[in-house]
Amino acid sequence: MTHPSGGGTADAPGSPADAYGALADAYGALADAPGDYSEGGWVKSDRQRERERLRRRRDLRSSSVATVSTVVFVVLVVSVVTASPGWPRVKETFFDLGQFTGAFPDVLAGFLLNIKIFLIAEPLILVVGLLVALVRTLHAPVFFPLRALAVLYTDVFRGVPTILVIYLVGFGLPALEIQGVPSDLATLGVIALTLSYGAYVAEVFRAGIDSVHPSQRAAARSLGLTQGQAMRFVVLPQAVRRVVPPLLNDFVSLQKDTALVATIGPLEALRQAQIHAADTFNYTPYLVAALLFIALTIPMARFTDYLAARSQRRRGA
């Protein structure tokens, strides 16, 4: 430790404040010279060994209880379902192996379009959301129209169901026949999803910005940083870090909502599954699509959990 010790020198001797100073000195001395406890001499006591043995046994018992109860639960569910009177028919229409392998290539190809839509929409949504959230923090009077527009945007697009936005954009935009408006169905889907999710994400960012304590802004301003600089260098970095878990959650939901784009027609996973199902009156292709979506969202969901747990740990530390 390099700090100079003792706060007591500030006081005139004999003053009442001196007693306080002496206390500070005493504390300071303790902090300066931590005891010299070498670790070499430590031998694990019998009590500690016993404690660790009991702890291991308890852990083993809990994991075996968990395993047994899981197995019992699964067996129970499977036997109830397979014993039901309609099961042979359901098995035929939903779990047909031949249908599964037959539909898989097409549905997978469609699913690649879902991923493409997702990957393009996601950064666009982040940009829109962040911009709208920032516009709402501008307080200069010149920006009033912009700010009002941002409020109107979030109000409208959070209120309208995503599937309606997709219909309106998918069928309405091209109908305007404006030069330069894309007519590609997947592109229109991306636009619709961006509009809809941008409003949610803007609110998430705004909540993150509001959650940064005002004293941080005061400290930044007191250093001479302008409002914009304080936002960019001090507030935003903290806000963004805090909203990562809720944002990832929104993106899990975006991944599956790419299937809503099927309603305006592009050949993505759900649309491909519909085509196959319509040909054969067998619903197994839907199962294929569902499994593909799950395969994509589960890793994302686990990652979100991991990040949330990590930030929880950090705050607890």
Partner 1 sequence: MSGPRETEGRDVVLRVENVWKNYHGHHVLRGIDLSVDSHEVVCLIGASGSGKSTLLRCVNLLEFVDDGVIHLDGEEITDVRADPDDVRKRIGMVFQSYNLFPSMTVLGNITLAPRKVHGVGRARAEEEARELLERFGLADKAGAYPDRLSGGQQQRVAIIRALATRPRLLLLDEVTSALDPALVGEVLEIIRELKATGMTMVLATHEMGLARDIADKVCFLDGGVLLEQGPPEQIFTEPRLPRTREFLRRVLEARRV
Decide if residue 33 touches partner 1 (CB under 8 A). no
Can you tell me which of 156, 223, 291, 309 binds partner 1, judged by CB under 8 A?
Answer: 223
What three-state secondary structure class fits 36? coil
For partner 1, which residue of 203, 221, 275, 301 counts as binding (CB under 8 A)?
A: 221
* Site membership for partner 1, residue 82 (CB under 8 A): no
208 is a site residue for partner 1 (CB under 8 A): no
Instruction: Tell me how far CA of residue 233 lies from CA of 75, 220, 221, 230, in angstroms.
Output: 56, 9, 11, 6
Residue 158 near partner 1 by CB under 8 A? no
> Between 242 and 281, how does the x/- string for binding to partner 1 read (CB under 8 A)?
----------------------------------------
* 272 touches 104 (CB < 8 A): no
8 A C-beta contact, residue 94 and residue 273: no
Among 3, 44, 139, 313, the residue binding partner 1 under the rule CB under 8 A is: 3
Q: At 249, list the tokens.
A: 């959650």
Nearer to partner 1, 34 or 145 (CB): 34
Apex 65 CA angle, 59 and 69, nearest 5: 150
Beta strands in 85-170 (DSSP E): none
Residue 111: how many other CB atoms lie within 10 Å = 24
- For the bound state, the minimum distance from the C-beta of residue 302 to partner 1, rounded and expressed in Å, comes to 26
Output the smallest distance, CB 7 to partner 1, in A. 4
Tell which one of 73, 87, 171, 233 touches partner 1 (CB under 8 A): 233
- Quote the least distance from Cβ 25 to partner 1, whole Å: 8
Euclidean distance between CA atoms 29 and 123, whole angstroms: 55
Position 218 contacts partner 1 (CB under 8 A):
yes
The DSSP secondary structure of 154-211, one letter per residue, reads: HHHHHHS-HHHHHHIIIIIHHHT--TT----HHHHHHHHHHHHHHHHHHHHHHHHHHH
Number of shown-chain residues binding partner 1 (CB under 8 A)? 42
Contacting residues toward partner 1, per CB under 8 A: 2-12, 15-21, 23-25, 27-28, 30-31, 215-216, 218-226, 229, 233-234, 237-238, 241
